[in-house]
Chain A
Amino acid sequence: MARFLIKRLFSATLTLFAVSVLTFLMFFALPRDPVTGMCPKNCNPERLERVRDELGLNDPLVAQYAGYMKGIVTGRDLGSAQGGHCDAPCLGWSYVTNEAVSDTIARVLPVTLSIVIPAAVLWLLLGVGLGMISALRRGTWLDRLAIGFSLTGASLQLYFVGAVLLIVFVYNLRLLPVPSYTSIFDNPVKWASGLVLAWVSLAFLFSAIYARLSRAQMLETLSEDFVRTARAKGLAKPKVYGRHALRAAITPVVTIAGLDVGGALGGTVITETTFGIQGLGRTAVDAVRSGDLPTIMATVLIAAVFVVLANVLVDLLYAAIDPRVRLR
């Protein structure tokens, strides 16, 4: 177990390292000088040169990369124009927004978390529940309804569902306010009413897919010998289905859920664009548009951290859920 964890964390670190190097190289392969994006069109040459110097763009690539990484771990001193000393998770200074990138991230990360976590809870409960029920009631009208729901949901697009929800609930019925983010600690009701459309549309599309997957897995598990054995030795149906079958059927669902949630935490670009909410995804898109190098780098890295961590977590969950899995 411990050995597996160490091995897994090592390969995760290696992956993150490769992602950071690739991202770094990609943006320095830019034919455009990254500095021109960082100050307005009528920037004078002296200022450009100063910015270039402050960013360390005149240093060799390896030194720049090492400086950046050192900043994340221990913090580093940036020039006075970049807000002076930058504390431990230092992600650099953005000339576009004129603030430390870590401050930007600290502001937008809660937004994305507030969108993704409730939506993920909703879609997992709804999706897996629906899949289980339709597998256990195979062939009934309930099953057909669930299949129809999942086929439709899997073919719909988030921006379309979101647009229809906006038209109906915000612009016509006026039941909900125009989507926006309020901190849950300030006003939980406003927090929920501002984000509920985003949750519902994400949950609708994802649960369709999860219902389909968990139905197929459950049907497969139900036909296995150990389920029959459990029933034959007199175990009650709820126990067999709820404990024995569910455990075996849910492992592929966990894998995909890990990838999906990890990916979504890195920024739900489409959801945020559709509902006009400024989260991590929109921030990344805006940063790319304005050529805001430090912010792009930070958002890509954070997204990668979420995906990699989710993968490690999935492997650990496997062992906890399925007794047949042994970690080596």
Chain B
Amino acid sequence: MEPAARLDNNHELTLKEFPYIIRWRDDRCKRCGRCTAVCPMFSIAPTVVAKRVVSSSGANPTPQVERQVVTVIKQSTNIANYCTGCATCTLVCPNEAIEPELNPNNKFLINKNAGGGAYTRGGRRNDPLVSTLDRLKFTRISMLTDPALDAGRHEFRIRTYLGRILPAEDLPVKFVNGSGELDATAGKFIPPVREIYPVMIGSMSVGALSPTMWEGLAMGITYLNEVEGMPVVMCSGEGGMPLSLFKSRFVKYFIPQIASGYFGWDEMIRAIPHMVEDPCAIEIKYGQGAKPGDGGLLMAHKVLKLISEIRGVPQGVDLPSPPTHQTKYSIEEAVAKMIQSMSMAWGFRVPVYPKISGTRTAKAVLNNLVRNPFAAGLSIDGEDGGTGAAYNVSMDKMGHPIASNLRDCYLDLVKQGKQNELPLIAAGGVGKKGNLAANAAALIMLGASAVSIGKYIMQAAAGCLGDENNRCNVCNLGRCPRGITTQDPKLYRRLDPDKVAMRVVEVYKALDTELKKIFAPLGRSTELPIGMSDAISADDPAIAERLNISYVC
């Protein structure tokens, strides 16, 4: 007798297990094949089925029954070819015949471990709920006792400082006829400080991003600085940066990042003598919010010729960075040696700061930095940060939300009277629900000197399809349907870097207007309202208590 397993489909998954189910309309489909050609996951394929077709024709129609073999679109039930819901099929369909539909009752995570491999992906923490930042509102509105400012007509200075700021007591100053002069004879080191726009583009590497995406961002940043007069800066991410840019005058708008893999730095160190400008700053990556405790990871299929040249590695190999800088044994050593080495490389003219993932130990790092005269700041990346590749469990379950982590660090600095000396940069989920200006302003009022964005700009400037319902999120596979996180020329040629640059500029101009519309009613225009915690309230008493702000209802 034949085993039952061969007669039924018992060990197959049903489509009900999958996160997205393809809705295909036979009556609209003209069988052009575009959807199946474009699907990055090979989730859909053309296939043939035998059908009983009833048709009527002629002057006196009589139903005729006929068996036909017809072409249909079928969704795969192989877990490796799950539909990510990216909807590229919908995008290319000429007849609106196909679209993926979210299946909230899916059992995807239960099954996504075939072959013993844990689920890896790119993107973000899959939590579609409202974040703490979106629970905050601006409640100190200037009314009658003090006039609200005019966002359209008053002059606003939305700028911040990146770099360690000497306390006034330590400035080597002397007064000659009542006029202050810096006293060069005092032999005091005055750390470098940059004035920048308080919302910066965070670290996304050449490699994680496609050449067209990275180039588009870089062009947008340069345009904002050179034409719009907005000093927006961008971090390179791990993996070096094009040496042509590194050696150009435009490098002053960029923050090269050095991480535990040191990718690209052989080439960059050798190029330092040929630089014509100092970079804006140097970021030392110790961690990232999306996958705390994991190093960077660039999958082999993304390491093509350009990337191998920039990073100084062979083509076609996985590039995992260690979770920590391997040559350092203690926080003091790691922080002091790395910061001082990088400072020395540029003659102490460039601010050098570390980036860590949000963690309950952030205050310990902070206090080491406070005592290091060369530390230029601390960037903290919260759990809602994004990544090109990580284990799902790291992204979904590891990490610390940015709001309370930042607030704790800021209040710790306040306690020491050092809140203006070491700028805090907050990141991770800024603009998660689209409220970029409000989230950024809230973080500033909680104590951030600046904020970093990543996923927001990918979505706004290049139409990244990912979301917190695990839509798309296949940045790790190099099959990005928008051409944002791929090194495949067939895919990244879809993305026009000029259009990306234009969108970057549009995003920042709109952001600037919205920030003014927030600051003006609060009566603030001259300096960034860092730590203006009386201006914000939470709609949840527990959040209010934790962040030491007021509760409103």
Asked whether A and B interact, the reply is: no
Residues of B within 8 A of A (CB): none
> A residues touching B (Cβ–Cβ < 8 Å)?
none
